[in-house]
Amino acid sequence: MKKTLLLIYCSLAFALPAFAADGKPNVLLLMADDLNTALSGFGHPQCKTPMLDQLAKSGMRFENMHCQYPVCGASRASLMTGLYPYSNGMLGNRGDLRANLPDVVTLSQLFRQNGYHVGRVSKIFHMGIPFEIIAGTAEHDDPKSWDEVINIQAPEQNAPGVKTNWSPKNTSSQSFTGVNATSGDLEHADGMAAEAAIEFLKRNRKRPFFLACGFVRPHVPLVAPSKYFDTYDREAMIAPIVPEDDLQDVPKIIRDYKSNKGYGVTPELHKGLLQAYYASISYMDTQVGRVLKTLAELELSENTIVIFSSDHGYLLGHHNKFQKQHLFEEATRVPFIIRVPWMADQHGQATRPITELVDLYPTVAELAGLTPPADLQGQSLVPLLRNPSTNKWTRDDAFTISRSGGESIRTADWRFTQWGYGAKGEELYDLKNDPGEFTNLATNAEYSEKRLALKQRLDARRMSAGYDPKKYRLPK
């Protein structure tokens, strides 16, 4: 192992090691796609993720991490810029980050400017899945963010095997089509991505690097080799329990959006859908393990910061809805792990205060000793990495927006959501007594004072997040 030089921050009692002559720790960012907290290490009773569980045991789990917009393009742009969507102008999968902010310095670009060799494998900024994997393109990428890029080309739903659409009313490219594939790990997108990441590590082991590796599972189509499907007994799959009239108190503007009316998932089909989703997660998990194994074999683990995250959560029948762009807990909350090798005292621990993906950028910059842009809107997670229950962490809410002028603020005990920028309905949930968010209290007079207080709090957050009423107000 290379000798470690400790730079002591006396006032913080915090040590940042300097690896190699130039004192730069490496960074490995691993991103999943459309993954909710269905990881065994996060307490999921059925999905099996041994490799990510192992990473969590050697790092820290963030169990209350929330995205800023539950759709791929907007969330990834926010994470990579350290800015809320209102500030970077990316409010969906469309748009051009550089057209909005020509001089923005992305997270990876910061490392590039500071002497790192910076690489991207597969999906980090938005990509159209499955079509861009089939084509091997990345049309929404940001070239200024990377020294080298590797796009993956794989068959996706055209892979050989048993193909089933578990959502028969949805026949689009975003249907819940599962492919129980006869081909092996390396013949599909995430196996190819892991292989490319491994080769990057081997090529760049002797110089400081920042590698962002994107895995596209469990984004649909739910493609995985058959051995991962065999891991799960379809008949034993347990669907979310939802009150029959759950959506009756939800504002009309969002009530039927991506509800089961447009998917046609029966109880039996639901079992197959869940098996396919979990199989694709287990396949992705194995590929993460391959990359981390190589990191260790190359003796890079002790000087590499490792981050694993998803871009947003995902509904799998929760609230009789599917997929993303909702503002329920299952859509905003993501699995998030950081392993900082020199902070071994905190390995295997979990932290539960509310955090946001926009916090990643200032965190990694601080850990690497780099000066980030002054306009970042996140907060460094380093205090929580030092002490997962510290009282120095000041964030006590998460701010997430979505389609149709949807905005939500999530505190420790409450969630308040409004639609149409406040003109198209509201939702209020008592998370302490109603963690499933089944009973909307927004029109209950007994809770009017709490509703008003949270609405005012949300209004303050939306303005600090860069909201421009001239730009984002819905037309009358």
In the chain, which segments carry CATH 3.30.1120.10? 398-472
* Model pLDDT, residue 23: 74
d(CA 189, CA 178): 15
The number of C-alpha atoms within 13 Å of 310 and in the hemisphere containing its C-beta is: 32
Mean predicted confidence (pLDDT) in 88-98:
96
* Model pLDDT, residue 7: 32
User: What's the CATH number of domain 398-472, 3.40.50.1970, 3.40.50.300, 3.30.1120.10, 3.30.70.100?
Assistant: 3.30.1120.10
Q: Is the pLDDT of residue 398 over 90?
A: yes
Q: What amino acid occupies position 52? A: L
Q: Between 8 and 450, where is the model more confident?
A: 450
Q: Is the pLDDT of residue 8 over 70?
A: no
In the chain, which segments carry CATH 3.40.720.10? 22-386
d(CA 187, CA 135): 15
Q: Please provide the average confidence, as pLDDT, over all residues in the chain.
A: 94
Give residues with Cβ within 8 angstroms of 463, minimum separation 6.
none
d(CA 118, CA 286): 24
Do 18 and 342 touch, CB atoms closer than 8 A? no
Mean predicted confidence (pLDDT) in 83-107:
97
What residue has token string 């759709």? 71
In this structure, the chain runs to a length of 476
Copy the structure tokens of residue 463: 């303005």
Mean predicted confidence (pLDDT) in 100-128:
98
DSSP 450: H
Q: What amino acid occupies position 18? A: A
Give residues with Cβ within 8 angstroms of 241, minimum separation 6.
none
* Model pLDDT, residue 21: 33
pLDDT tens by residue, 402-444 = 999 999 999 999 999 999 999 999 999 999 999 999 999 999 9
* Model pLDDT, residue 473: 73
Return the CATH fold of 22-386.
Alkaline Phosphatase, subunit A (3.40.720)
In 3D space, the residue among 135, 111, 110, 112 whose CA is nearest the CA of residue 122 turns out to be 135
Q: Is the pLDDT of residue 476 over 60?
A: no
In 3D space, the residue among 317, 166, 146 whose CA is nearest the CA of residue 234 turns out to be 166
Helix (H) or strand (E) holding 14: strand 14-18
d(CA 474, CA 476): 6
Mean predicted confidence (pLDDT) in 306-314:
98
- 470 pLDDT tier (thresholds 50, 70, 90): confident
Complete edge-to-edge strand list for the sheet that includes strand 222-225: 161-165, 177-181, 222-225
d(CA 289, CA 189): 15
Q: Is the pLDDT of residue 10 over 80?
A: no
Helix (H) or strand (E) holding 284: helix 267-297
In 3D space, the residue among 312, 275, 306, 276 whose CA is nearest the CA of residue 289 turns out to be 306
Do 353 and 393 touch, CB atoms closer than 8 A? yes
DSSP string, 346-369: GTTEEE-S-EEGGGHHHHHHHHHT
3-state secondary structure of 30: strand
Q: Is the pLDDT of residue 155 over 60?
A: yes
What residue has token string 């091997």? 136
* Model pLDDT, residue 47: 98
pLDDT tens by residue, 218-247 = 999 999 999 999 999 999 999 999 998 999
pTM equals 0.95
pLDDT tens by residue, 34-81 = 999 999 999 999 999 999 999 999 999 999 999 999 999 999 999 999
- 22 pLDDT tier (thresholds 50, 70, 90): low
In 3D space, the residue among 46, 42, 87, 89 whose CA is nearest the CA of residue 336 turns out to be 42
Q: Is the pLDDT of residue 2 over 50?
A: no
